[in-house]
Amino acid sequence: MIVWTITLAIIGGGVFAVFCLNRGSAWKHSRITFWLLISFIAIAVALVSTTIIVLNFQWRAPPEPEITYGEFPFRLEYEIDGEHFVIEDVLIAEFRGSFRGNPTTRPWRSWSRTLLYSNVNDLNGGRFLLHETDGVSIYFNPGDARYFMGYLGHIENEPVPGTAPGIMPYIRVRYPHNRPFIPAVRIEDAHELLAEHGITLISWEYTPPIVNRFG
């Protein structure tokens, strides 16, 4: 948008200058008008070049991580009405690439997360369904690849989301549509929430995130 604005300004200034130069012999031979035109074009070219350089810098792909692959075993043990359950698997996190931004998209890193043992039919949007009754669903999400791989943010000036429940292993309760939405809760803090729905959290073990370097 900025480049187009400056380009239109250049064209408009050029048309105006040509109009002035063609208004008569006095304008045609005016050195002042000639040098004003040259100065205007030089300044406009400098502005366009600077804008392109700045945008290219802002849209550059973020640095790639030093470590691009990791495996993170986890184990969740819980009980419902005296029945014992265990979810045990290995989260595989992998870096897929860094991508440049554009006028509508910020620069970003792509990650993939898969589970080594769980069948895709056991999952709902990458989550395990722990319990469902009367339209209330309790889900367990083992976490996001970004969290385990030491993610530092899409670009340097973006807030670090390393403690956000949305990318850490979490519990989420979904009620029917007429009930308020419950935000994600870290598993370490979910004992009371789970107990409200008849679930006793016995143990939670997982591999902590790695310390990664970017760039």
162 band by pLDDT with thresholds 50, 70 and 90? very low
What does the pLDDT read at residue 101? 80
**Residue 153 reports pLDDT greater than 50:** no
41 band by pLDDT with thresholds 50, 70 and 90? confident
Number of H helices and number of E strands within the chain? 5, 9
Over range 9-32, report the average pLDDT. 54
pTM of the predicted model as reported, rounded to 2 decimal places: 0.69
Q: Tell me the percentage of the chain whose pLDDT exceeds 90.
A: 41
d(CA 148, CA 167) in angstroms, rounded, equals 9
What does the pLDDT read at residue 49? 59
Alpha helices in 22-163 (DSSP H): 25-28, 31-58, 145-148
What does the pLDDT read at residue 152? 54
Written as six digits, the tokens of 128 are 């395990």
31-35, 72-76, 92-96: least confidently modelled range: 31-35
**Residue 53 reports pLDDT greater than 70:** no
Q: Tell me the percentage of the chain whose pLDDT exceeds 70.
A: 63
Instruction: Count CA atoms within 13 Å of residue 95 on its CB side.
Output: 22
83 in Cβ contact with 107 (< 8 Å):
no
Highest mean pLDDT range out of 11-20, 41-50, 116-125, 196-205? Answer: 196-205
The length of the chain in residues reads 215
Who has greater pLDDT, 180 or 149? 149
**Residue 28 reports pLDDT greater than 80:** no
Written as six digits, the tokens of 183 are 């935000």
